[in-house]
Structure 1
Amino acid sequence: MSTQHERLRMMLTAAIFAAIIGILAQLTIPLPLVPITGQTLAIGLAATILGSRYGALSALLYMLIGAVGLPVFSGMSGGMGVIFGPTGGYIISFIFSAFFIGWYIEKTGVTVLHAFIANMIGMIINLAFGTAWLKVMAGLSWPEAFAGGFAPFIIGGVLKAFLASWIGILARKRLASARLLPQPAPKRTA
């Protein structure tokens, strides 16, 4: 298969994952400041399966689709008001989180353990950026922002990181063996 066809296939797959993120965003447990959603699970899956470049692309596409007003954010919301609102930092950080998760797995190895470490760090990136944004946009103190935007998501984040790692590595290996994902280049040894 030519490189151009492979690139097109991966871009289409990233677009499909953007839709999956939008679907899982509707799985919501409301909390006072920031709801618990399936978005972070979907971001972890996208990055674990697609890697840094296309995982980040899926997160970017998701954000852009929501920014133009399509109701893909949690609670069937959309628009620039959500991006620039108190919870927008979490959405923006998905791009960086997805890139890091995919990059870490690409650099260390396609294993559940490496994926779990990557997804845990990705969760911290997401929560830290989102909490800082929440503090500024909602005019909260650091303890208030931490209590409302970070602490309630740690246990669920660990569970989602495990699920994204386990399911993501399984799916990635099966898709690669079916030649639906690019085969990783063999590692050189000295």
Structure 2
Amino acid sequence: MTESNFKLRMMIITALFAAIIGILAQVTIPLPLVPITGQTLAIGLAATILGAKYGTLSVVVYLGLGAVGIPVFAQMSGGLGSLFGPTGGYLVGFIPTAFSIGYYLEKTSFTFINAIIANVIGMFMVLTVGTAWLKIFANLSWTGALMGGFVPFILVGLIKAVLAAWIGISVRHRLKSAGLLYLEDKKAL
């Protein structure tokens, strides 16, 4: 595969995962402060399948689309107000989360157990960043922020982490077998 074909393929795959994140963001269970969405599942999938660089890039593309006003965030919202409002920390936290999941898997191995570990770490990372941001921007106490933005999401987050690991590793192996996804070193995943 030529360098230009490889870059084009990875740009298309990155854009596809940005779209998947936007679609799963619309799967929402409303809660008082912060809704439960499919975004974190999609972030875990992107990072588990694509690794650190392209998984993170798909998140950056997704956030960029939302920042310019395209309604890709939860509940069909978008714009800078979403990024800099009380729940913006969860969105911003997606960047280090995707990177850490992909990085962990690249440094260990892309196995189901490692993917669970990486996605659980990522889940706690996004909840921590989001809760700290929520505390500051909503002017809440630490107890209020933890009870509204962290505790209600632990069980659901663990379930989504296991799903992202299971689906992500399965899809990654299928793409590897089909030769449809390549890393920068041009080796099939």
- Normalised by the length of structure 1, the TM-score is 0.95
Q: CA deviation at 1:183?
A: 5.9
Q: Which residue does the alignment assign to 1:13? A: 13
Query: What amino acid is aligned across from residue 65 of structure 1 in structure 2?
Result: L
Counterparts of 2:123 and 2:87, CA distance in 1:
15
Render the CA deviation track for 1:88-124: whole Å, top value 9, x for unaligned: 0100111110011001001100100000000000001
Contact 1:176 1:183 in 2 (8 A): no
Q: Which residue does the alignment assign to 1:133? A: 133
Structure 1 residue 152 corresponds to structure 2 residue 149: no
Identical aligned pairs, as a percentage? 63
Q: Which residue does the alignment assign to 2:37? A: 37
- Normalised by the length of structure 2, the TM-score is 0.95
Q: CA deviation at 1:184?
A: 9.0
Counterparts of 2:31 and 2:102, CA distance in 1:
29
Q: CA deviation at 1:181?
A: 1.1
- Secondary structure of the structure 1 residue equivalent to 2:173: helix
Q: CA deviation at 1:3?
A: 2.9
Q: Which residue does the alignment assign to 2:168? A: 168
Counterparts of 2:106 and 2:37, CA distance in 1:
27
Residue 173 and residue 184 in structure 1: after superposition, are their counterparts in 2 closer, same or farther (change >3 A)? farther
Q: Mind listing any 5+ residue stretches in structure 2 that lack a counterpart?
A: none
Counterparts of 1:32 and 1:129, CA distance in 2:
19
- Secondary structure of the structure 2 residue equivalent to 1:106: helix
Structure 1 residue 54 corresponds to structure 2 residue 82: no
Aligned length: 185
Counterparts of 1:183 and 1:100, CA distance in 2:
17
Counterparts of 1:63 and 1:43, CA distance in 2:
12
Q: CA deviation at 1:177?
A: 1.4
Q: Mind listing any 5+ residue stretches in structure 1 that lack a counterpart?
A: 186-190
Render the CA deviation track for 1:135-169: whole Å, top value 9, x for unaligned: 00000011100000000000000000000000000
Structure 1 residue 182 corresponds to structure 2 residue 182: yes
Q: Which residue does the alignment assign to 1:81? A: 81
- Secondary structure of the structure 2 residue equivalent to 1:13: helix
**Runs of 4+ displaced beyond 6 Å:** none
Q: Which residue does the alignment assign to 1:188? A: none
Q: How much is the aligned-residue C-alpha RMSD, in angstroms? A: 1.1
Counterparts of 1:149 and 1:4, CA distance in 2:
43
